[in-house]
Amino acid sequence: MLKSRFIKRFRVEPGSNVNLRDFDTDWAETKDAKQLGKDEIKDRAIKVLEENKQHLAESQELIAASNTHSVLLIFQAMDAAGKDGTIRHVMSGVNPQGCQVFSFKKPSAEERDHNFLWRYMKSLPERGRFGIFNRSYYEDVLVVKVHPEFLDTQIPSGEKAKKFWKGRYDDINNFERHLVRNGTIVLKFFLHVSKREQRRRFLERLTDPSKYWKFSVSDMEERRYWKEYQECFEDALSATSTEWAPWYVIPADRKYVTRALVADIIVKAVKDMDLEYPKPSKEDLKRFEIARVELEKEEGGKKGRSKNGKKAKGKSKSAGKKAKSATKSAAAEATPKPIGDTVSDGAPA
């Protein structure tokens, strides 16, 4: 795992005024990194990602077993910044049953007829699971701010506009506060790609026929609003990076750096929760003992029969007796109950 001190530089300090120029898009170009050399960084990043994939699988098992919390991962970025690839790589070691990805596109008419958080609320992860939002309610203060014509209501202007967007940031902060209070860890990643690198990736998509499908004309249209988007990101990051749901600005010009950092931040956040596997109660242990003895008896019973179905003599007979008496004494102490009912169901912290 990477040092917390190192990771801190990518975290947006709550209450700070974000200027995206203060954040690197290509970490390998910084002074510290140059000393290491690009090959060394790549090797290290790949190693960190591999280690963290293993840790993530364990974290997910712990989240599922403790069943007191969920994790919501939010990814926002300009097109071609690598959201899809990061999600795919970082979550590749995780049990698919414990995680769900939602990709949010333009809202439907029904969605537009509700409050702006409605469609996201319906997709939140259940306790014990990871939920990934590939784009999220932040679109409602990003693309919608760049293109206010998306709003069904009157386009706000001047002071009214300021109040309108501030209202949305407040709603988001309160919503996330509510989630965190109810046991959801909220981590938000802005994949910070440079305009130059986006151009390179778009050109790659337009020159390699196997990548044509990744390009859409609207990507080019949105690129023309680069400056407006960067400003909206700065406003949103400044207003909504909180102690309970911080933003991380992740350098996205090199995919291996992006993936290693994201994986590391998730693993650390889960580790900091100090979750524990549920401890069985005395009653549980008694029931487990009954089940164990009963299962051993089954095996003893099988062994105790010869091929022609006759009972064999000796060892297996006494093992059977022992099992029977253990079952009896344990059964006398505990009222049998289905084992599935015995694991305690903790309430969210």
Which runs of E-coded beta strand occur in the chain? 70-77, 99-103, 130-134, 184-192, 247-251
Q: How far is the CB of 154 from ligand ATP (least distance, A)?
A: 17
Please say whether the beta carbons of 288 and 334 come within 8 A: no
Distance of closest approach, residue 275 Cβ to ligand ATP, in angstroms: 31
- In the list 57, 143, 331, 334, the residue contacting ligand ATP (rule: CB under 6 A) is 143
Does 252 interact with ligand ATP (rule: CB under 6 A)? Answer: no
- State the number of CA atoms in the 13 A half-sphere of 122 facing the CB: 7
What are the strands of the beta sheet with 70-77, ordered from one edge?
A: 99-103, 130-134, 70-77, 184-192, 247-251
Closer CB to ligand ATP, residue 217 or residue 347? 217
**CA 11/CA 8 separation, integer angstroms:** 5
Spatial distance between the Cα atoms of 248 and 190, rounded to a whole number of angstroms = 6
Taking CB within 5 to 8 Å according to partner kind, which of Mg ion, ligand ATP, none is near residue 64? none
326: exposed, middle or buried (C-beta count within 10 Å: 0-12, 13-18, 19+)?
Answer: middle
**CA 201/CA 197 separation, integer angstroms:** 6
Q: What residues numbered 46-85 form the site for ligand ATP, per CB under 6 A?
A: 79, 84
Residues 188-227 touching ligand ATP, rule: CB under 6 A, are: 216
Q: Which is nearer to Mg ion, 119 or 201 (by Cβ)?
A: 201
Strands 247-251 and 184-192: parallel
| Nearest CB to ligand ATP, comparing residues 6 and 226 | 226
Half-sphere exposure of 283 (CA within 13 A, CB side): 10
Q: How far is the CB of 194 from ligand ATP (least distance, A)?
A: 18
Among ligand ATP, Mg ion, none, partner that 143 touches (CB below 5 to 8 angstroms by kind): ligand ATP
The piece of 20-28, 105-113, 153-161, 306-314 that touches ligand ATP (CB under 6 A) is: 105-113
Q: Which of 10, 60, 131, 139 binds ligand ATP (CB under 6 A)?
A: 139
Least distance from ligand ATP to the Cβ atom of residue 83, Å: 7
Determine which residue in the list 135, 145, 201, 286 makes contact with ligand ATP, applying CB under 6 A.
Answer: 135
